[in-house]
Amino acid sequence: MKMDSLRKPVVPTDPSWWFQEALTAEKDIAPCPPLDGQKEVDVAIVGGGFAGLWTACTLKDRDPRLTVALIEAAACGSGASSKNGGMASGYESWVGTLAEQYGADAALAMVRAGRRAQDMIRTFARECGTDLWWNDSGVVRISTHPSHDAKIDKWLEDAARFGLADTVQRLSPEEVQAHCRSGLFRGGAFFPEASNVQPGRLARALRRAALGKGVAIYEETPMTALDRGQPARVRTPRGALVARDVVLAMNTGLTTLVEARRHISMFSSYVVMTAPATEALERAGWTGREAIVDLRQFGRYARTTPGGNTLGGWTGGPIGYRDDYRSPILREDRTNGERAARGLRELVPDLAGVELEKAWGGGVDVSPDRLPFFLTLPGTRIRYAGGFSGHGVNAACIAGQCLASLVLEQRDEWATLPLCTREVPTFPPEPFRVLGARAIRWGFITCEEARQAGRREPLLARALAAVPSAIGMRLGTR
């Protein structure tokens, strides 16, 4: 593999390190040739990432007689599901904000749903027959500037108020340094419920599980058109799926659907993976497997693999326009690949000399309240899932449960979550959405960099960074 040092120019390319590793580890890959001809099924699913695959598996678990077919434009798991940081967590740390938005009962229902999903993924990891590198070491969230400290206070207050005091622990600066030494780290908070996983292996194991349950999977099969009749028809280059129910689980590809587009702003996220760095990690005293996330508005994070490779991520990549989800700025932007590398160097200076094995980027489907939504096109049995907002490892498992409940018309604890029932806020139409989002992004980045360098934040940047909270939107990671 070609190596770049963490200091050299970084060139993001597909596929991700995770996906390559997962394919290398996968024995006897069952072929899933493209769809050729017309097939009639009960449920057609579009998209073979976590959301589509969890939905397929859940439908078959709940009703094995259903005929379920899934089409995937490329290879299952090659999208965001194998590009992410692999950090899985539920909604404990969101409880206060969720209560402000949707009430205490809904907030606690979300916390329960996140916990159940975390348990389901954990059980799947244990039983699927592949080592998914699942690891329950928690996450340390770190203040790197005094302006971050209020967030930690709020987490502690919210957790106490909602009876979740055991889900977060305040860390003194010394306690943070005991997790990992860095001149940048101040105090922090530890969330023991968080886990991490090899996401490419998880996606591929879900593909195998779906095939084992009798789901028909067609790869290299993009949906080219969708006829909304009853039954609906999912058109592909050489055939069609005719189905009573359709589930669209296309991530940023969902922006091609007019009804969904108004709920999605296409952000991007960039990641670098180092070569094995065991000695540097030992120098930094970071020998546990806990993830590290800073509290910037566009967060930087790091985590390790069992082999000592270290992943560094940055959540503030360029913003896409309208339905241009294939835009290279969402996955090949060098400046933002370098930002991910710089973030890792700054978070863990001991890694500065380590070689890089890979860099990549991917689109992120951000919703105005940063919560996923599982909705139905009016007058149809076509459901769609989006808005994972960079928090999809756990939430895509929730998606599988919610979408299965919607398809099977089961009014259970999943179908009644705000994810399925709330009035989903909308973004302004284009071009105002992309122009506004880009201006706000510039404001956030400029303020964060000024703060870290000890400079005053420019007035315009401050004003722009204040816009989302002034209009009730949640952007970024704080």
Applying CB under 6 A, the site for ligand FAD has a residue count of: 39
Nearest to 305 by CA among 202, 197, 157: 197
Least distance (Å) from ligand FAD to the CB of residue 133?
A: 13
Site for ligand FAD in 176-215 (CB under 6 A): none
Which DSSP string do the residues of 303-360 spell out, in sequence order? EE-TTS-EEEEEEEE----TT-TT-GGGT--HHHHHHHHHHHHHH-GGGTTPEEEEEE
74 sits near ligand FAD (criterion: CB under 6 A): yes
d(CA 199, CA 201): 5
Least distance (Å) from ligand FAD to the CB of residue 87?
A: 4
Rg (CA), the chain: 21
**Cβ-based nearer residue to ligand FAD, 134 or 461:** 134
**Cβ-based nearer residue to ligand FAD, 414 or 461:** 414
Among 80, 197, 206, 475, binds ligand FAD (CB under 6 A): 80
Stretch that binds ligand FAD, among 80-88, 103-111, 119-127, 146-154 (CB under 6 A): 80-88
Helical packing angle, 50-62 and 392-407, nearest 10°: 40
Stretch that binds ligand FAD, among 139-147, 156-164, 244-252, 375-383 (CB under 6 A): 244-252
**Cβ-based nearer residue to ligand FAD, 205 or 223:** 223
Among 250, 319, 359, 447, binds ligand FAD (CB under 6 A): 250
Three-state secondary-structure class, residue 153 = helix
**Cβ-based nearer residue to ligand FAD, 313 or 368:** 313
d(CA 38, CA 405): 27
- Amino acid making up residue 376: T
Among 34, 192, 222, 308, binds ligand FAD (CB under 6 A): 222
217 sits near ligand FAD (criterion: CB under 6 A): no
Length of the chain: 478
Q: Could you give the string, one character per residue 31-70, with x where binding to ligand FAD holds by CB under 6 A and - elsewhere?
A: ---------------xxxxxxx------------------
**Cβ-based nearer residue to ligand FAD, 48 or 464:** 48
271 sits near ligand FAD (criterion: CB under 6 A): yes
Among 55, 101, 269, 367, binds ligand FAD (CB under 6 A): 269
478 sits near ligand FAD (criterion: CB under 6 A): no
d(CA 69, CA 355): 42
Stretch that binds ligand FAD, among 71-79, 105-113, 341-349, 420-428 (CB under 6 A): 71-79
d(CA 392, CA 267): 14
19 sits near ligand FAD (criterion: CB under 6 A): no
- In our burial notation (b when 16+ CB lie closer than 10 A, e otherwise), range 238-256 reads ebbbbbbbbbbbbbbbbbb
276 sits near ligand FAD (criterion: CB under 6 A): no
Nearest to 188 by CA among 202, 164, 172: 172
Least distance (Å) from ligand FAD to the CB of residue 314?
A: 9
* Phi-psi map region of 258: left, alpha, beta (phi>0 left; psi -120 to 50 alpha): alpha
**Cβ-based nearer residue to ligand FAD, 43 or 464:** 43
Residue 14 carries which DSSP code? Answer: S
**Cβ-based nearer residue to ligand FAD, 185 or 388:** 388
Least distance (Å) from ligand FAD to the CB of residue 340?
A: 9
Maximal C-alpha separation, the chain? 64
Among 58, 84, 130, 305, binds ligand FAD (CB under 6 A): 84
Site for ligand FAD in 359-418 (CB under 6 A): 362, 364, 388, 390-394, 396
Among 110, 142, 223, 415, binds ligand FAD (CB under 6 A): 223
**Residue nearest to ligand FAD as judged by C-beta position:** 392
Kindly tell me the number of DSSP H helices and DSSP E strands found in the chain.
15, 19
Long-range contacts for 468-474 (Cβ within 8 Å, ≥24 apart)?
Answer: 468/440, 472/425, 473/368, 473/369, 473/425, 474/97, 474/368, 474/369, 474/370
d(CA 400, CA 127): 18
Least distance (Å) from ligand FAD to the CB of residue 274?
A: 16
d(CA 253, CA 351): 36
249 sits near ligand FAD (criterion: CB under 6 A): yes
Q: In what order do the strands lie in the sheet with 265-274?
A: 4-5, 355-366, 265-274, 310-317, 300-304, 291-294, 139-142, 188-191, 169-171
Which stretches of the chain bind ligand FAD, using CB under 6 A?
A: 46-52, 71-74, 78-81, 83-88, 222-223, 249-251, 253, 269, 271, 313, 362, 364, 388, 390-394, 396
